[in-house]
Amino acid sequence: MTTPEPRSLEKEALESLDTLSSVPSLQGPLGRVIGWIDTLFLSLAVAALVAIAGTVLLQISGRLFLPFSLAWTEELSRYLFIYMVALSAGVVLRRNRNVSVELYHQHLGPRARAGYQALVCLLIGGFAWIVLPYAWQYAQNGAWQTSPTLRVPMLYIFFSTVVMFALLLGYSALGFIEGLIAMLRSRERR
């Protein structure tokens, strides 16, 4: 009797917890490129998280050991947090890690799960499509403003909304395509 590999057990456990992860993602060269893009955005988000931790530690150390407070650390940590969320939003959508209520997902078959993913991605993509031009207008409002302590043009901070909705639009289009492909493949197998 052979024992299953730990990776296959882990994958099976995750699929039982998250039924939408059973919708297959794109494979081949395009899938690898998308994987590299995922890794890039996740790496940038993790770098922002590490920078937040460093900034907060510097702020705490400054308050404990310096006779003055470093006012810019709180502002920098806030901006890093904003960009961390913006950079990871698309990958979170792709990996179905958004907060969701799963009342009936486990009762859906593979084709219905794929259709559900396509529908959710279509709705999110439609929302991102509508909001993206307004996010750009919002970012442009920051062109003549600067942050209070860092003196950074607020255009760069407000641009995080453009980044987030552009990534959501791109990743929702990708999720919609993957859902459609999975629906068509499960129809062919019948």
Q: Tell me how many domains the chain contains.
A: 1
How sure is the predictor about 124, in pLDDT bands with cuts at 50, 70 and 90?
A: very high
What is this structure's pTM? 0.83
User: Does 55 map to a domain?
Assistant: yes
User: Does 13 map to a domain?
Assistant: no
Q: What is the pLDDT of residues 40-78, one digit of tens each?
A: 999 999 999 999 999 999 999 988 898 888 889 999 999
Query: What is residue 109's predicted lDDT score, i.e. its pLDDT?
Result: 83
162: CB partners within 8 A, 6+ apart: 132, 135, 136, 139
Half-sphere exposure of 26 (CA within 13 A, CB side): 19
User: Does 35 map to a domain?
Assistant: yes
User: Does 132 map to a domain?
Assistant: yes
User: Does 150 map to a domain?
Assistant: yes
User: Does 43 map to a domain?
Assistant: yes
The CA distance from 175 to 36, in Å, is 16
User: Does 10 map to a domain?
Assistant: no
How sure is the predictor about 21, in pLDDT bands with cuts at 50, 70 and 90?
A: low
Nearest to 91 by CA among 24, 172, 176: 172
Chain Cα centroid distance, residue 135? 17
Look up the domain containing 53 and give its range: 26-96+109-189
Q: What is the pLDDT of residues 179-188, one digit of tens each?
A: 998 888 866 5
Nearest to 102 by CA among 17, 11, 13: 17
User: Does 6 map to a domain?
Assistant: no
